[in-house]
Structure 1
Amino acid sequence: MSLTRRIALLSLMALAACGAPRSGPPPAPDGVIFAPNFADVHPVEFRGRAPQNYPVQGIDAARFQTSINWNEARRNGVNFAFLKATEGGDLLDPAFGGHWRDAGRAGVERGAYHFYYFCTSPEDQARWFIRNVPRTPGMLPPVLDMEWNPFSPTCAHIRPPAREVRAQMRRWIKIVEAHYGMRPIIYTTPKFFEENDLSALRGYDFWLRSTAISVSEAYPGQRWRFWQYSATGIIPGIVGKVDLNVFNGSRQQWVTWLAAHKL
């Protein structure tokens, strides 16, 4: 066999061993914290520390985010994602399965959240969440999303007194915490927080929404772990607008928090 033919054959064998070329970049290495490359359609000048100055940032996503390249999004600063899973006692977000799978494959730290309804018992809602959210090694704590729901034709008018609201929250949390072995995070809005005196709930990590004023102005004196500061974020890899969030702490505090809270 001639030298030329031998080189050609070796080249073909090398290509075959390598396989087909990858489509898009491979997943980023585990544990890497990426700086945010985020934009905002409607940016806000917050008093005090600006969200952009928090080193660890992420998103929350639901069926409205119809196309996410999670590898690209992660490399552009999506270090964590809270993904909508369930509502009430019988609604499953149709995008949850795909988001959960693909975010995990890209190495994004991910957790699932449940949107609470006041026309279904907390026990039924907890069981529905558990039925649809797999107990996955490495997952973030579950999230209980508490806000008034003006859109439900059956639940919008049901607004229990504050003490009953907190009692129902504790019942949901007790079941979910027992199943996953992690204490859930509480997400809420300024109006719901104030009207139901959620500051009375001690020992929980809070994820707080405040998109018009700083989180410290919206929730004076309240400790928090995550801040949802925008609903109009733009991130490479994500089609359309998305909610933007920050973790309250340094990079090292993020690593420490993950070590203590991941499944």
Structure 2
Amino acid sequence: MPPIKRKPAIRKTPARKKKTKPFPTQWKVAIAGLLLILLSPFYYGYVVKGFVATWRWVKDWGQDPNYRTYESFNIKIPKNYTIHGIDVSYYQGKINWQKVKSMKDDDVNIRFAFIKATEGVLQVDPYFQRNWREAPKAGIICGAYHFFRPKRNGKTQAKFFLQVVNLEKGDLPPVVDIETLDGVSALKMRAELSDFLNYVELKTKIRPIIYTGLKFYEDYLEENFDEYPLWVAHYYQPKLRLDKSRWTFWQHSDKAKINGIGHVVDFNAFNGDSTDLAEIILK
């Protein structure tokens, strides 16, 4: 067989590596100077803070001007309300009420607190007595609330609540928290709730406040307890979807961060000014 002819191999000349020029000294100096500026207190105090303020403005741009972000509280708060407060239970743990009282962001500070006292016919909130004692010392106006269980006798729950809570001059009216049917009919729930309200008012001469969610109110309570002050939960909205003449307190967020409290907190607005608040405080 004739020999197989091979094509001559083409050898590639290796590319020469380009010599890298040393980084000019003047650029090193410039970069070092820039870093010094960025890390200096002057830059942080005036430029960075200015940038943060601008970013907040951009973030809220196009949003409802009456629903502004308060960075300290880590939530949006509806404007046009001058009196703000929180509500707490054992979920919030041990609270430093002095820190709560001293916290302020622009025109918002904590003026009042609703504190869980009891639930059903047996449960006392383990932090109630401490909160009920320490919050007023810090200058917080306080109110106590009972978590209502429709399966239990309403009058019995009212007696239990009043055995635990000692209402005094300067307190907010007592509150009954109704959020669930607990498996009973709406008619049964309203009957037991009515017994609770009547007994508390009879013994204290104070008309209690009803706390509930907006949907629960619309489904089961509307037009049944209109003579009682209303505290409504309706979250993350610039406005409460309820006639302003109907409600007294609005729980508009459950994610507030408060100094002195190690857990997120419900945040509330009062429907009125200081004069209006003074009118409902116990005399």
Structure-2-length-normalised TM-score = 0.68
Residue equivalent to 2:185: 160
The letter for the 1-side match of 2:83 is V
Residue equivalent to 1:138: 170
Residue aligned with 2:240, SS = helix
Select 1:169's aligned residue among 193, 202, 210: 193
The Cα offsets for residues 201-246 of structure 1, whole Å up to 9 and x where unpaired, read as: 22211000001335532x3576111000111101222222111001
Select 2:261's aligned residue among 232, 238, 246: 238
Residue equivalent to 2:88: 61
The Cα offsets for residues 179-209 of structure 1, whole Å up to 9 and x where unpaired, read as: 2221000000022112213333222110000
Structure 2: which 5+ residue stretches go unaligned?
Answer: 1-69, 104-108
CA distance in 2 between counterparts of 1:226 and 1:251 reads: 14
The letter for the 2-side match of 1:160 is S
CA distance in 1 between counterparts of 2:239 and 2:120 reads: 27
Residue equivalent to 1:185: 209
Residue equivalent to 1:71: 98
Residue aligned with 2:144, SS = strand
Q: Within 5 A, what are the aligned runs for 1:1-263?
A: 39-41=72-74, 43=75, 51-76=78-103, 77-148=109-180, 156=182, 158-161=183-186, 163-214=187-238, 216-217=240-241, 219=242, 223-255=246-278, 257-258=279-280, 261-263=281-283
Residue aligned with 1:262, SS = coil
Residue aligned with 1:236, SS = coil
Contact in 2 for aligned 1:199/1:222 (Cα 8 Å): no
Change (3 A) 1:62 1:38: farther
CA distance in 2 between counterparts of 1:187 and 1:174 reads: 16
Change (3 A) 1:222 1:200: farther
Contact in 2 for aligned 1:232/1:241 (Cα 8 Å): yes
Residue aligned with 2:101, SS = helix
Residue aligned with 1:196, SS = helix
Q: Which runs of 4+ in 1 moved over 6 A?
A: none
Residue aligned with 1:138, SS = coil
**Rg comparison, structure with higher value:** 2
CA distance in 2 between counterparts of 1:148 and 1:211 reads: 18
1 or 2 for the larger relative contact order (CA 8 Å, sep ≥6)?
Answer: 1
Residue aligned with 2:90, SS = coil
Residue equivalent to 1:32: none
Q: Which moved more, 1:184-193 or 1:132-141?
A: 132-141
CA distance in 1 between counterparts of 2:238 and 2:201 reads: 30
Contact in 1 for aligned 2:234/2:240 (Cα 8 Å): no
Contact in 1 for aligned 2:172/2:282 (Cα 8 Å): yes
Residue equivalent to 2:7: none
CA distance in 2 between counterparts of 1:215 and 1:123 reads: 35
The letter for the 1-side match of 2:282 is K
Q: Which moved more, 1:234-243 or 1:95-104?
A: 234-243
Change (3 A) 1:111 1:221: closer
Change (3 A) 1:75 1:174: same
Question: Please, what is the CA RMSD of the aligned residues?
Answer: 2.1
Contact in 2 for aligned 1:216/1:222 (Cα 8 Å): no
Change (3 A) 1:92 1:38: farther
Residue aligned with 2:256, SS = strand
Aligned length in residues:
209
Structure-1-length-normalised TM-score = 0.73
Residue aligned with 1:194, SS = helix
How many percent identity over aligned positions? 34
CA distance in 2 between counterparts of 1:134 and 1:126 reads: 13
Residue equivalent to 1:4: none
